A and B are shown apart, each in its own frame.
Chain A
Amino acid sequence: MKTIEVKGITKAFGSASVLKGVSFHASAGSSLAIMGSSGEGKTSLLHILGGLDSFDKGSIHIMGKDLAKDPLGMRRKHIGFIFQSYQLLDEFSLLDNILMPFFITKNTSFVKAHERAEALLQKVNLHKKKQQKAALLSGGEKQRAAIARALMNNPDILLADEPTGNLDRQHSEEIYDLLLSCAHELGKTVVIVTHDEQLASLCQEKRLLQDGLLR
């Protein structure tokens, strides 16, 4: 099943045209790496896919539905974000950070949400630090926590923006495993924007964003 279907997306910032007709699709359980030089519009494409930013022309369908019609609903239900600089809420505990998507959407009972958060923390091996403030975690721990948070509402699609950009080799490999297991084991569609050749080569599909087009 096509989880993402992008057709002819264009995006310009003022007079600078960044995306000039990007088209691709991805299905459940697949992993797609998008590579490209800095400034080619990789992050913009990812934000557009997550409904954080708008696009000028074209269409995006997420789980068969038009993203432009309800970007917030899509984000709440089908999309999980992972950022290069983790973007955890530093003043909250690790557990609160994981639970935050539930606090926002309230899509299930608190008990179930709490159980799921505990399970995710086990999965990313951070359950012993759940009460710690997010600011006190190491880089690798923060990114694992960010992955757990992205999975909290059980989205169909994970959008990761340079997930290993700030990590050393050892921690990066942990992240590779986690992200790819999301695709293989949990059946998520994982779209990764990265410069990391090793990570890209581990993905099922590798595409290059160049001159506003995906090749």
Chain B
Amino acid sequence: MFIYKLITKYLLPTKKSLSASFIALLSLLVTSTVVWLLLVFLSVTRGIETNWLKKLTSVHAPLRVYPTKAYYDSLYYKADAFGENEKKTLREKWEESDSEKKNQPDLVKELYWTLQDLEKTGSLHFQDYECSPALLRLQLLRKQSTSQISQMSYAVSFPQKNPTLSSILLPPSSNDLAYVVSTLRSKEALERFFLHARIEKGWLKKGSGFSWKLLEKGSYPCLCKKNGSIEQIILQKEVGSFSGFEKATLVIAKRSYVKIGEKICDLSPKTMLFWGQNAPCQIVVDQTSFQEATTVYDLRFFATTSFNGTVFSIPVFYQALDQVEFFARTTFHKKPKTAPLWAYQVQNLWHLPQGPDGATQAVILPKSYQKSHVFLGDQGHFSFIGSSFSSAQEMQLPLYVAGFYDPGMIPIGHRCIFTSQEITETIMGSSAHLSLDTAAQNGLFVWSDLHKVDPLKREIQKRLQEKGLTKYWHVETFREYPFAKELLAQFQSDRTLFMIVGIIMIVVACSNIVSMLLVLVKEKRREIAILRSLGASKTSIGAVFGLVGMILGALGSVVGTLFAIITLRYLDSFIAMLSWLQGKKAFQAAFFGDSFTYTLSADAAVFLLILTPVASLLAGLIPAIKASRMNPSKILRS
């Protein structure tokens, strides 16, 4: 009890022990600052790593199973291939009739059955993947110019069963939709577009005109130019930059007219009204206008706007609209009869659409293409060397950009292009394509919880072993992917390094606590002697100072943790401030991703919340031992 009473007294600042109080406050400040900085730093780096892993395993799955050399050398693989071009993919092997191979194990089907059994337990989802190298060529047809983009790429079959695909696919932006609608050249394509997209709002362009007959009854302030008869009426209250115009009142009634001062001028049926400035409006497409439309510029829209407190709807063409904001629907409960022009999800499955012509295969590009001004709706082709019995020649497969995805910072991420299996199979079927390692070419992606990947790998291997198929299949977790291995190892060593730096920083912070406690012991030596004369043991005296150190450390870590939580909550503002101070972006999105994590790293928090008080307790031991070894008799005599 006296220990608690003494600790309370020693921790509370008093006038008598100003120096100890000041050092205690300083120790608290240093410890909490160190904990704060370390926690923010470790949380952010942990967040970057988690985001990166999430992206990696969203694009490539956390586990993959692919054929070994033994599989490709097996009779099973070679048996049904008359020539190189006929060699079958895993999917084709799975889908083929098994009537011909009754006397030998079906290597692919056994694997599929193994995974299907595990899928039924809910521990995984799987899908085959195919990857083929090809040259991507995109033609960017713009109003001002036409350009081309060419890049050697990996055409990867679209992993539609991937449960995390939604987290990396970017929804079609309004700009993308505005572009794609402007490229459509048929009534069917326009109908298809507007079936799944709508214009949320936009602006009526300044200077766009419409008939006065569309206005509701009432009187409206306007500007009017008159030269004998009325030449122009502008719907605007103030004259502003319109020289030669006079303020007037437009009256829409049984007899519609314009009143300029005291003069009244009747409106002719052909008199047009013009907008004096851009006017915000709600826009809906006129469904009847599809009949004769071949481009979006042929369509009519109803723009609902208000002027002078009166709401009215006027029919306009696309040209009269500005800053149109599109919105696209991407999720459906059941498969739509007419697919949208972008990737869409039906319940848990994602689908790739065909192009506006209904035949061109779609591709989903990494978001880096957006920086090269590629839009949804752009077209191009995959180019690859195809072979026949006598020659090799360049072949082209037309393609259509149906969306973008965020690949994270995987080294090969910006070269992976999702496309349909028809395309990957066609390219793979060509014997002259650039060969990839067998792992990357064809296999099965297996999705599961990241933390359960290792036991899942063991389970799959065990089941394959029971069937005697181990030598035909290689099971690999994301940690073993050749393109990710080094980066993951780097993350691991960075984390170890940060932990070591963290420990050193905490030890340095604790040296303050040692100084503070040494001052306190010196100040309280008379009290120590009195307490010893009253029966306090050496251990209890030591415990007082040790615990003061530990409490200071614990307080510092709690305060630091609270500050870290607040900092992480307002991290964007903090980074914006850093960027403003530097005059350039503080963190590059290419490396760190578009946004930082805002969650405190639980591992780091637990580590620091344990380490700091323990280190402080250890730091308190030196003064504690000093206090306990004091000779009370000597002190009391002095």
Residues of chain A having any CB pair with chain B under 8 Å: 43-44, 47, 50, 52-53, 72, 75-76, 81, 83, 87-92, 96, 100-101, 103-106, 149, 153
Inter-subunit contact A52/B1 (CB<8 Å): no
Compute how far the CA of A89 lies from the CA of B530 in the bound complex, rounded to whole angstroms: 8
Give chain B nearest CB distance to A85 CB in angstroms: 9
Q: Does B314 contact A (CB under 8 A)?
A: no
Top 4 closest pairs, chain A to chain B, by CB: A76-B535, A103-B2, A53-B633, A47-B633
Q: Does B101 contact A (CB under 8 A)?
A: no
Inter-subunit contact A72/B633 (CB<8 Å): no
A106-B1 in contact given A52-B636, A53-B633, A87-B526 (Cβ < 8 Å): yes
Compute how far the CA of A71 lies from the CA of B636 in the bound complex, rounded to whole angstroms: 17
Compute how far the CA of A43 lies from the CA of B637 in the bound complex, rounded to whole angstroms: 8
Compute how far the CA of A124 lies from the CA of B14 in the bound complex, rounded to whole angstroms: 30
What are 24 A-B residue pairs whose CB atoms fall within 8 Å in the complex?
A: A44-B633, A44-B637, A47-B633, A47-B636, A52-B633, A52-B636, A72-B535, A75-B535, A81-B533, A81-B534, A87-B526, A87-B529, A87-B533, A88-B530, A89-B530, A96-B5, A100-B2, A101-B534, A103-B1, A103-B2, A103-B5, A104-B2, A104-B534, A104-B535
Compute how far the CA of A149 lies from the CA of B16 in the bound complex, rounded to whole angstroms: 24
Give chain A nearest CB distance to B26 CB in angstroms: 22
Residues from chain B with Cβ under 8 Å of A75 in the complex: 533-535
Give chain A nearest CB distance to B638 CB in angstroms: 11
Inter-subunit contact B632/A92 (CB<8 Å): no
Compute how far the CA of A40 lies from the CA of B163 in the bound complex, rounded to whole angstroms: 91
Q: Does B492 contact A (CB under 8 A)?
A: no
Inter-subunit contact B631/A53 (CB<8 Å): yes
Give chain A nearest CB distance to B14 CB in angstroms: 7
The 8 Å CB contact of B636, one of A83, A92, A101, A103, is A83
Residues from chain B with Cβ under 8 Å of A72 in the complex: 535, 537
Q: Known pairs A43-B637, A83-B636, A103-B5. 14 more at Cβ < 8 A? A: A44-B633, A47-B637, A52-B532, A75-B534, A87-B526, A88-B530, A91-B9, A92-B5, A96-B5, A101-B534, A101-B535, A104-B534, A104-B536, A149-B534
Give chain B nearest CB distance to A70 CB in angstroms: 11
- Identify which of B527, B530, B533, B631 gathers the most chain A CB atoms within 10 Å of its CB: B533
Give chain A nearest CB distance to B8 CB in angstroms: 10
Would you call the interface of chain B mostly helix, strand, loop, or mixed?
Answer: helix
Q: Which of B519-548 contact A (CB under 8 A)?
A: 526-527, 529-537, 540
Compute how far the CA of A122 lies from the CA of B446 in the bound complex, rounded to whole angstroms: 83
A91-B14 in contact given A100-B531, A104-B535, A153-B535 (Cβ < 8 Å): yes
The 8 Å CB contact of A91, one of B1, B16, B529, B540, is B16
Residues from chain A with Cβ under 8 Å of B9 in the complex: 91-92
Compute how far the CA of A198 lies from the CA of B390 in the bound complex, rounded to whole angstroms: 134
Q: List the B residue with the shortest CB-CB distance to A80.
A: B534
- Identify which of B535, B631, B636 gathers the most chain A CB atoms within 10 Å of its CB: B535
Give chain B nearest CB distance to A93 CB in angstroms: 11
Residues from chain B with Cβ under 8 Å of A90 in the complex: 16
Q: Which of B1-23 contact A (CB under 8 A)?
A: 1-2, 5, 9, 14, 16
Inter-subunit contact B633/A105 (CB<8 Å): no
Compute how far the CA of A44 lies from the CA of B370 in the bound complex, rounded to whole angstroms: 90
Inter-subunit contact B637/A100 (CB<8 Å): no
- Identify which of A72, A91, A105 gathers the most chain B CB atoms within 10 Å of its CB: A91
Compute how far the CA of A43 lies from the CA of B526 in the bound complex, rounded to whole angstroms: 16
Residues from chain B with Cβ under 8 Å of A50 in the complex: 533
Residues from chain B with Cβ under 8 Å of A91 in the complex: 9, 14, 16
Compute how far the CA of A120 lies from the CA of B527 in the bound complex, rounded to whole angstroms: 22
Compute how far the CA of A101 lies from the CA of B2 in the bound complex, rounded to whole angstroms: 9
Give chain B nearest CB distance to A101 CB in angstroms: 5
Q: List the A residue with the shortest CB-CB distance to B527.
A: A89
Compute how far the CA of A47 lies from the CA of B527 in the bound complex, rounded to whole angstroms: 16
Residues from chain A with Cβ under 8 Å of B535 in the complex: 72, 75-76, 101, 104-105, 153
Residues from chain A with Cβ under 8 Å of B534 in the complex: 75, 81, 100-101, 104, 149
Q: Which of B582-602 contact A (CB under 8 A)?
A: none
Give chain A nearest CB distance to B123 CB in angstroms: 57
Compute how far the CA of A87 lies from the CA of B517 in the bound complex, rounded to whole angstroms: 22
Give chain A nearest CB distance to B24 CB in angstroms: 15
Residues from chain B with Cβ under 8 Å of A104 in the complex: 2, 531, 534-536, 540
Q: List the A residue with the shortest CB-CB distance to B530.
A: A87
Give chain A nearest CB distance to B572 CB in angstroms: 48
The 8 Å CB contact of B632, one of A52, A101, A153, is A52
Give chain A nearest CB distance to B506 CB in angstroms: 31
Compute how far the CA of A92 lies from the CA of B2 in the bound complex, rounded to whole angstroms: 11
Compute how far the CA of A105 lies from the CA of B5 in the bound complex, rounded to whole angstroms: 14
Compute how far the CA of A75 lies from the CA of B14 in the bound complex, rounded to whole angstroms: 31
Compute how far the CA of A96 lies from the CA of B198 in the bound complex, rounded to whole angstroms: 78
Give chain A nearest CB distance to B529 CB in angstroms: 8
Give chain B nearest CB distance to A124 CB in angstroms: 17
Residues from chain A with Cβ under 8 Å of B540 in the complex: 104
Inter-subunit contact B14/A52 (CB<8 Å): no
- Identify which of B14, B530, B531, B532 gathers the most chain A CB atoms within 10 Å of its CB: B530
Compute how far the CA of A76 lies from the CA of B532 in the bound complex, rounded to whole angstroms: 10
Residues from chain B with Cβ under 8 Å of A87 in the complex: 526, 529-530, 533, 636
Give chain B nearest CB distance to A214 CB in angstroms: 19
- Identify which of B2, B529, B531 gathers the most chain A CB atoms within 10 Å of its CB: B2
Residues from chain B with Cβ under 8 Å of A43 in the complex: 637
Residues from chain A with Cβ under 8 Å of B632 in the complex: 52
Q: List the A residue with the shortest CB-CB distance to B631.
A: A53
Give chain A nearest CB distance to B544 CB in angstroms: 11
Give chain A nearest CB distance to B634 CB in angstroms: 8
- Identify which of B14, B532, B534 gathers the most chain A CB atoms within 10 Å of its CB: B534
Residues from chain B with Cβ under 8 Å of A47 in the complex: 633, 636-637
Give chain B nearest CB distance to A137 CB in angstroms: 15
Give chain B nearest CB distance to A144 CB in angstroms: 17
Q: List the B residue with the shortest CB-CB distance to A153.
A: B535
Compute how far the CA of A44 lies from the CA of B602 in the bound complex, rounded to whole angstroms: 58
Q: List the B residue with the shortest CB-CB distance to A88.
A: B530
Residues from chain B with Cβ under 8 Å of A81 in the complex: 533-534
Give chain B nearest CB distance to A159 CB in angstroms: 9
Compute how far the CA of A101 lies from the CA of B535 in the bound complex, rounded to whole angstroms: 7
Residues from chain B with Cβ under 8 Å of A96 in the complex: 5
Residues from chain A with Cβ under 8 Å of B636 in the complex: 47, 52, 83, 87
Compute how far the CA of A91 lies from the CA of B9 in the bound complex, rounded to whole angstroms: 8
Residues from chain B with Cβ under 8 Å of A101 in the complex: 534-535
Give chain A nearest CB distance to B538 CB in angstroms: 8
Q: Render B602-638 as a binary contact track against A, CB cut-off 8 A, 1 for contact.
A: 0000000000000000000000000000011100110
Residues from chain A with Cβ under 8 Å of B529 in the complex: 87
Inter-subunit contact A52/B533 (CB<8 Å): yes
Compute how far the CA of A39 lies from the CA of B5 in the bound complex, rounded to whole angstroms: 37
Compute how far the CA of A22 lies from the CA of B448 in the bound complex, rounded to whole angstroms: 86
Compute how far the CA of A52 lies from the CA of B1 in the bound complex, rounded to whole angstroms: 22
Give chain A nearest CB distance to B121 CB in angstroms: 59
Give chain B nearest CB distance to A196 CB in angstroms: 19
